[in-house]
Structure 1
Amino acid sequence: MPSVTRHRSLLSVLAIALGLVAPMAAARAQGPVLAGVVRPPRPAPGVNTIAEVEPRVARPPGRPCVAPLFAPRQFEGVEPVAFSYAPPADCPGPWAKVVLEADFDVTAGRQFDRTAIIHLGGVNLYYGTTMEPRRAIAPAWHVERDVTDYAALLARPGAGEVLIANIVNETYTGRLTASACLLFYPASTGAPVSTAPQIVQPISDGLAKLSKDQDRLARSVVLPTNVERLVLDVIAQGQADDEFWYDCVPDALASEKEGRCGGGAFRQVEVFVDGQRAGLAALFPWVFTGGINPYLWFPVPAPETLNFTPSRVDLTPFAGLMNDGLPHRIEVAVPGVRNYYLVTATLLAWRDERAASTSGRLLRNTLGAAREKTEARRVRTDQQGLNGRIVTRRAQDGEVAGVLQTSHGEVVTAVRYAMSFSNRQDYVSNDKVQIGRVRQSTRMRILTRRTDASGTVKRLETASYPLNTVTRETATPEGTDQTADVDLTLARTEREVSSDGRIRFRSLSNRVTPTARGQFNRTARRFQNASGTSVQRFRFEDSELGCYGRTVVVKDNAVAAARDGC
């Protein structure tokens, strides 16, 4: 399990994940461009290291300037590694796009999946986890992230850190190597300057550790008096027991001895401004390559496992309150956390450059706490473990709206949230078999309306994260026969209606359905005769760009087939 010692609007999210801009001219070969999307290399039959489905970041035309962050190096130990950064002298900006590229590999052997993080000046540039190797399998992989919105930070020299806490010893022998750089694409006639925020301010200064409900990442900020748009990029990653939050139980049923984590089976991100609940972000149930059963995830990891997408929380309704030149407190919380979460957050602000100051007020804030209901009355515990059913439900909604007087008139921004969550856990435990079933659904709906003199722009974002898992352990004289089945989907859509009635629609779906079988030998402390099968289906559709899809079929933990097409 990963830990530091172990194991945007959706438009922005999709742009980060898919690079929805003009085709790249070529920084490095990354496959042909199809419908505005850069396909990753298609895995050949027999590949057992890693099979990619998620597109690379597309690029503007022109040759980029490259600024290294750190050269290839091996990571061993738990201390972060510092690096110095300087923007490329031959590309002073402004830029059309900036892309982070990082490459990783791990030697064959035995090793946990590890958390991997790159920060610059306290601002997160990359966050993900690493692949687990096998005795004769050494995975190598490439990740990319669109960091154009952080251009104000990247325009000046700075100090950064990379953290890949990897323990190497006689048992855990896999050695991790990584490198990273930034690619700057100059603006041109065909690639206009990005409208990036002028203010990029870390809230977490790297990472914050939240260990209980009451813990919050908090920072007081002082903004310029002419801010007209404000967002917060957040990533929250469960560590240790909270890595498996979807299988955690109410505190009354938790048992450290039996390995049952507490806090219940619900987690999400809540953002506060000056003590007021200001926004929400649904947490995708990331499953890392050592999660549940390692044979589920190679060569096809679960969605976003190697490269997390930040959640972007729109705080523009509070801009009128925060433009007074005084300190204001930003807080991030993860309800339900019991072991710990690592959280990183960055505040981004766009200024009204034609006005020395903007003024406004919060019109309304009806975003309340989650309504919760948990039923566990028929659950019993004994020496064998849990028996019975636990049902957890959460619902939360409300609207935050504010008005701002700008150089181009009055602007009203309203953000309405509707979240629903359900999780059903069924357990059978006796001296012959242990069965655990989880059936979970997370849904988030965010409607943003921006009204000014030209009319109203509406953007509806939806996120749906269904997760179903079944694990079975049957006792044998040597240990246990184990099976694991997972059905996990990351689905996001966006529908935007402009002030003149034009409609643009985008959707992304990434579904993986792996099954693992094997025997766990108690004496050897390892799986034997283990193998996995899987099908992963990725589909992206844009009403203007077209459609991209890839399906990868895995048998005996090797690619059996890979095909592209919607």
Structure 2
Amino acid sequence: MTRHRPFISIIAIALGLAAPITVAWAQGAVPAGFAAPPLPALGVNTVADVEPRVPRPPGEPCVAPLFAPRQFEGVEPVAFAYAPPAGCRGPWAKVVLEADFDVSAGRQFDRTAIIHLGGVNLYYGTTMEPRKAIAPAWHVERDVSDYAALLTQPGAGEVLIANVVNETYTGRLTASARLLFYPAAASTSPPAAPQLVQPISNGLAKLTKDNDRLARTVVLPTNVEHLALDVIAQGQADDEFWYDCVPDVLASDKEGRCGGGAFRQVEVFIDGQRAGLASLFPWIFTGGINPYLWFPVPAPETLNFTPSRIDLTPFAGVVNDGRPHRIEVSVPGVRNYYLVTASLLVWRDAGASSTRGRLVRNTLTAPRETTDARRVKADKQGLNGRIDTRLVQDGEVAGVLQTSHGEVATRVRYAMSFSNRQDYVSNDKVQIGRMRQLTRLRVDTRRTDPSGTATRREVLSYPLSTVTQETVTVDGTDQTATVDLTLGRTEREVASDGRVWTRALSNHVAPTAHGQFNRAARRFQNASGSSVQRYRLEDSAIGCYGRTVVVKDNAVVTARDGC
């Protein structure tokens, strides 16, 4: 991963920071259905967790190590051998990946961290940047129960953390990972996991401006009943800051302005037809925009990305004929490169050796874009003016399938809207950049079979705003950066018997960072940041979990649980 362009660049000198101590308190107990991380201690300046961990079923798990604690140095992936836990063949109630990371105090970039098994992604995230007197350590978890079919057999895996250690970049990264298998109780049915998990990216795929599609030909079983694709697409280099990119006519490598416009998303194609899409959350890594924004509270999901699951079931009646079919994953607008991982999940009809069906309707269109850059000008000082970008995309994909338990009709409807406004002021005294963006995607899924009709609605809302300012002073420059970012996801399911389940997530963070660059000393001084992060997850079946963390001078001053 690379840095933000040098408009705001408080990245050089590492400082150990302290803060005044106040009192942490808890507001009510965390409901039993949630697994809360430890409450951050007051004064913590490394990593303060807010996101809940994976809930566990009762009983002791069987443990299968993936790799023991080891230090990562260099750019080559590290291989490991996997074997299912002896005497614990399943079925499993849940399978959880756990990984632990730490980086020594010093200077180091944030790094991409990836774990694959048999080409299927088990974990994807980034690492936390250290400082001269701050050595972050953190723990991540992911529910990988849907990959149980992959985990029943021994396999070869890889972990990639491309970390450079030299006289300048001194932070040393250490990581370990394992899988925990929770046996299913005899009185309960194990989850209906897919019977086939097939990599499309076969680990990682690199998409570029000249090669912006990952393509793989697959031959699937003839009794496919349900089909989905898990995708993660991470922008690298300039594409890390895609939300701040400009139209190609205004792009400039010299001035650090990335092209391709300010919109990115994932689209999936089957045999050349647009089959589904996923909105990209604007992940901001701990070196992004300004490192002092993120100590000790990183932006949502920075250390542990959540895959987008795209329902491709309407195409089940197309791909179940035993013939080769082409699956493609695209990131339109990529200008530098994206790293993409994609895994195909296949549920089979246990009561039939084959199913048959057809695609009934596909009206999913390409996004319709309007970009207005008439009010912006570029000169030797930089950009002045405004750029407005808007996109909409909609349509539905519907298919029907004849199965052993009757006809199944599936319809998936998409409605996406996107807006991005960038305002610039550039002169010999000050440079100011303001950006305000909103991504919204609604996906409605309807399944009808002889038992009735079930529906599901998922709404994703990702508002983001940033302000960066660099002001010339007598000694150098005064630099500030503020970010306001929310990850919002809601789900509502209505079963065929009328039962309703809802889930709503909001993870909001609003940090500010400030520092001065001293021209004579060639270093930054008085660099610090403050932040508030509020996490709330409400589930109609188990209750509500919430956590608020307040940061001053890059250390926790308040931490509390409660909705």
| TM-score when normalising by structure 1 | 0.94
Q: Is residue 2:309 matched to residue 1:337?
A: no
CA distance in 2: counterparts of 1:287 and 1:133, whole angstroms: 16
Q: Aligned with 1:391: secondary structure? A: strand
Q: Match for 2:455 among 435, 448, 458? A: 458
* Change beyond 3 A, Cα 1:367–1:226: same
* Change beyond 3 A, Cα 1:376–1:50: same
Deviations 1:178-198 (A, max 9, x none): 000000111114653121101
Pairing of 1:149-228 with structure 2 (within 5 A): 149-189=146-186, 192-212=189-209, 214-228=211-225
What root-mean-square deviation, in Å, do the aligned CA atoms of Structure 1 and Structure 2 show? 1.3
Tell me by how many angstroms 1:454 deviates. Answer: 1.2
Match of 1:29 in 2: none
Tell me by how many angstroms 1:502 deviates. Answer: 1.8
The one-letter code sitting in structure 1 at the alignment partner of 2:110 is D
CA distance in 1: counterparts of 2:521 and 2:173, whole angstroms: 25
Q: Is residue 2:257 matched to residue 1:260?
A: yes
Match of 1:130 in 2: 127
Q: Match for 1:298 among 295, 301, 308? A: 295
Q: Is residue 2:368 matched to residue 1:371?
A: yes
Q: Match for 1:497 among 477, 482, 494? A: 494
Q: Is residue 2:106 matched to residue 1:109?
A: yes
* Change beyond 3 A, Cα 1:482–1:325: same
8 Å Cα contact 1:84-1:159 kept in structure 2: yes
Match of 1:515 in 2: 512
Tell me by how many angstroms 1:532 deviates. Answer: 0.5
CA distance in 2: counterparts of 1:5 and 1:382, whole angstroms: 26
Deviations 1:291-325 (A, max 9, x none): 00000001000000000000000000000000000
Q: Is residue 2:465 matched to residue 1:432?
A: no
| TM-score when normalising by structure 2 | 0.94
Tell me by how many angstroms 1:402 deviates. Answer: 0.2
CA distance in 2: counterparts of 1:432 and 1:230, whole angstroms: 56
| Seq. identity, % | 81
8 Å Cα contact 2:3-2:288 kept in structure 1: no
Pairing of 1:407-426 with structure 2 (within 5 A): 407-426=404-423
CA distance in 1: counterparts of 2:182 and 2:519, whole angstroms: 54
CA distance in 1: counterparts of 2:508 and 2:521, whole angstroms: 34
Q: Aligned with 1:255: secondary structure? A: coil
8 Å Cα contact 1:100-1:182 kept in structure 2: yes
* Change beyond 3 A, Cα 1:394–1:346: same
Q: Is residue 2:441 matched to residue 1:479?
A: no
Match of 1:54 in 2: 51
Q: Is residue 2:228 matched to residue 1:231?
A: yes
Match of 2:88 in 1: 91
Tell me by how many angstroms 1:336 deviates. Answer: 0.7
CA distance in 2: counterparts of 1:392 and 1:152, whole angstroms: 43
CA distance in 2: counterparts of 1:347 and 1:295, whole angstroms: 39
CA distance in 2: counterparts of 1:439 and 1:314, whole angstroms: 30
8 Å Cα contact 2:232-2:307 kept in structure 1: yes
CA distance in 2: counterparts of 1:190 and 1:552, whole angstroms: 41
Match of 1:400 in 2: 397
8 Å Cα contact 1:504-1:543 kept in structure 2: yes
* Change beyond 3 A, Cα 1:439–1:214: same
Q: Match for 2:388 among 387, 391, 396? A: 391
8 Å Cα contact 1:127-1:308 kept in structure 2: yes
8 Å Cα contact 1:6-1:166 kept in structure 2: no
The one-letter code sitting in structure 1 at the alignment partner of 2:64 is A
8 Å Cα contact 1:478-1:522 kept in structure 2: yes
Tell me by how many angstroms 1:357 deviates. Answer: 0.3
8 Å Cα contact 1:5-1:166 kept in structure 2: no
Unaligned runs of 5+ residues in structure 1 are 8-31
* Change beyond 3 A, Cα 1:168–1:489: same
Tell me by how many angstroms 1:455 deviates. Answer: 1.0
CA distance in 2: counterparts of 1:484 and 1:113, whole angstroms: 19
Match of 2:244 in 1: 247
Q: Aligned with 2:39: secondary structure? A: coil
CA distance in 1: counterparts of 2:527 and 2:285, whole angstroms: 18
8 Å Cα contact 2:95-2:179 kept in structure 1: yes
Work out the number of aligned pairs and report it.
539
Match of 1:10 in 2: none
Unaligned runs of 5+ residues in structure 2 are 5-28
8 Å Cα contact 1:213-1:334 kept in structure 2: no
